[in-house]
Amino acid sequence: MNALGRRMPCSSPCRHPSPATHRSTRAVQRTGRLMCWSLAAGMTTAAADLLLEPQAPWWGVVWPLPWYLTSLSIPAWAILRARQKTAQHPPDENQPPDSWHQAA
């Protein structure tokens, strides 16, 4: 930190993630969003099926689709997240973690 209490920019090479790390982060984020939105859509369609009891012939096919998408996106997210975690480089034992440099 400088005298004014602001953080100074760090030019350490560990601060700049590689393009592969950036791609994996984006993939994890997008898959997580897909999982959350499909879960929300599944709960919404289940509530609509319960409360509104739609009689349209296509409704019986459409309302479970978000649940199928959720069940596919959960393992995909877990695999991508595990790969992202294993790709992260552990910090040097001589260096304290970056979070320790910031005062409480």
Enumerate long-range contacts of 47-51, CB under 8 Å, 24 or more apart. none
pLDDT at 1: 52
How would you write the pLDDT of the chain (104 residues) with one tens digit per residue? 555 666 655 544 555 566 767 888 999 999 999 999 999 999 999 999 999 999 999 999 999 999 999 999 999 999 999 999 988 866 666 666 666 666 65
What pTM, to 2 d.p., does this model score? 0.66
pLDDT at 40: 97
User: 88, 87, 72: which is closest to 31 by C-alpha?
Assistant: 72
User: 18, 82, 70: which is closest to 46 by C-alpha?
Assistant: 70
User: 68, 77, 80: which is closest to 38 by C-alpha?
Assistant: 68
